[in-house]
Amino acid sequence: MRVMVIVKATKDSEDGIMPSTELLEAMGKYNEELVNAGIMMAGEGLHPSVKGKRIAFDGSSRTVIDGPFAETRELIAGFWLWEVKDMAEAVEWAKRCPNPMAGPSELEIRRVFEAADFGEAFTPELAEQEERLREKAAKR
């Protein structure tokens, strides 16, 4: 079962305060443990939302909203993708994470949809399109 573990943003992370050397070290060690346990599939940290954009959809209208975004608690600062046996295992590994932020902070675990969950609506053409875009995005 695949899960996304989301690191919630805090005021510090939104203010662009970089993690301390100690935290980077602890996170590095934690990531190594995740790799050695065979559950880590991917993971990234995100810049503060001041460098982000939002696109609001309503019918045919598309409105671009510049960051930063107000509701800090709902923003994300990073994520991992893990392959685990069940949710209990994901919870146990998440509890072992070093405090991701200096102050109080939160991780959120969500189950990832897999392609087959979408049924017949997901065609090879759609997948190809999606993958091309991913590749283009990766090259930038």
Partner 1 sequence: MAANETHQAIETVFRIEQARLIGGLARMVRDVGLAEELAQDALVTALSEWPKTGVPNNPGAWLMAAAKRRAIDGFRRKKMLVRKHAEIGRDLENERDTSVEDVEAALDDDLGDELLGLIFTACHPVLSAEARAALTLRLIGGLTTDEIARAFLSNEATIAQRIVRAKKTLGNAGLTYAVPRGAERKERLASVLEVIYLIFNEGYAATTGENLIRPALCAEAQRLGRILAGLLPGEPEVLGLLSLMEIQASRLAARVAPDGSPILLTEQNRAYWDQLLIRRGLAALQRAEALGGANGPYALQAALAACHARARKAQDTDWQKIAGLYDTLRQVMPSPVVDLNRAVAHSMAFGPETGLSRLDEIDPAAGLHNYVPLPAARGDFLLRAGRLEEAKVEFKRAADLTRNAREKAFFLARAAACAG
Q: Where on the chain is the footprint of partner 1 (CB under 8 A)?
A: 2, 32, 35-39, 41-42, 81, 83, 85, 88-89, 91-93, 114-116, 122-128, 131, 134
Terminal Cα distance for the chain, rounded: 30
By the 8 A CB rule, do 43 and 120 touch? no
| CB distance 23 to 105 below 8 Å | no
Supply the minimum distance, in Å, between the C-beta of residue 52 and partner 1: 23
Q: Which is nearer to partner 1, 52 or 105 (CB)?
A: 105
> Which lies closer to partner 1 via its Cβ, residue 12 or residue 83?
83
Q: Closest CB to partner 1 among 102 and 126?
A: 126
The span from the CA of 57 to the CA of 75, in Å, is 19
Alpha helices (H) in 1-140, listed in sequence order: 11-14, 21-36, 87-95, 124-139
CB of 122 to partner 1, least distance (A): 5
CB 45 within 8 A of CB 79: no
What is the smallest separation between the CB atom of 41 and partner 1, expressed in angstroms? 6
* Among 8, 21, 113, 126, residue whose Cα is nearest residue 71: 8
Identity of the residue, 9 or 34, whose beta carbon is nearer to partner 1 in the bound complex? 34
Query: At its nearest, how many Å lie between partner 1 and the CB of residue 112?
Result: 9
Q: Which residues sit opposite 58 in a β-bridge?
A: 61
Instruction: Work out how close the CB of 127 gets to partner 1 at its nearest, in angstroms, rounded to a whole number.
Output: 3
Q: CB-wise, 2 or 109, nearer to partner 1? A: 2
